Amino acid sequence: MAAVFLVTLFEYSPLFYISVVSLCFVVTAAMVLGWFGFDVPVILRSSDETASVLPTPEKQMVRMTNPFILEMGSGPASVADGVSLAPCCLVPCVLSCFWGCEVSALQSALQAHQRRPQLITPTSLQEELRYYHYHSFYIDSADREERRTQIPADQGIADFGPLPRERYPLVAVLTLAEPEATGIVASLTVIHVPDDKYSLSARVLFQYLLTSHGNMFELKVRRILDQANYCRYSTLMINFQKLCSLTERWN
């Protein structure tokens, strides 16, 4: 079929025939040279190749300072006797402790922050979370003293039920005493506290940094939980983007 077309084209116009054959030869030669790494004129490149050689815009790296550190304190820890926390802040902040915080309420609050970023304050957290008891401390930038928090005995709470659980024993949140509209605005730590139904030693389960732009970064916990216990602890799991560096993020 192609041969008949070429013969017909030659009989119609030999000059046009020679031009078509020459053009096909040049295009084929350019494609072969391009495959072997030789540079060819842009006009002979396909649209896909042209798009691939365009420079990719670089993302600017922004350095951010994490003003919050919260670790487990010394001394015994249990739901009945309470737990000690060791906060360390670069600026004055507030440590808010939510005992018996509902997992679903916490997850909803964090998802809402991602969709609609807003300043995080102890008051806003009290309005969004559902919990048994609230306790707060003012932490100065030079303060390194441990804080002891516990559920009042008159509430009669000795445990948070069998596994899987719908409440975290303790959620500790560090927020700025004077909220700012930029940077890292809160540190949220979910802590397991042993009780009569689950005697696993006190430890940090999750720890997140929240920014004013609605981003959430998970800090890696040093002590790794047994995988089976980790998955059975609650009915809902909170998964967010992990933080590779505590002071850097990509915009």
Alpha helical stretches, state H, the chain: 2-12, 14-35, 47-52, 103-115, 122-128, 227-232
Q: Is 108 helix (H, G, I), strand (E, B) or coil?
A: helix
Highest mean pLDDT pick, 12-21, 45-54, 67-76: 67-76
pLDDT, mean of residues 209-223: 79
Q: Where are the chain's structural domains? A: 2-52, 61-250
Q: What is the pLDDT of residue 10?
A: 54
Amino acid residing at 55: P
Is residue 71 within 8 A of residue 53, CB to CB? The reply is no
pTM of the model: 0.66
Is residue 168 within 8 A of residue 234, CB to CB? The reply is yes
Is residue 191 within 8 A of residue 149, CB to CB? The reply is no
* Greater pLDDT, 37 or 245: 37
What lies within 8 Å, CB to CB, of 28 at 6+ separation is none
> Which residue, 206, 211, 168, is CA-closest to 66?
211
Cβ count near 31 (within 10 Å)? 13
pLDDT of 96 higher than 80: yes
* Greater pLDDT, 243 or 17: 17
pLDDT band at 3 (very low <50, low <70, confident <90, very high): low
What lies within 8 Å, CB to CB, of 37 at 6+ separation is none
Q: What is the pLDDT of residue 60?
A: 64
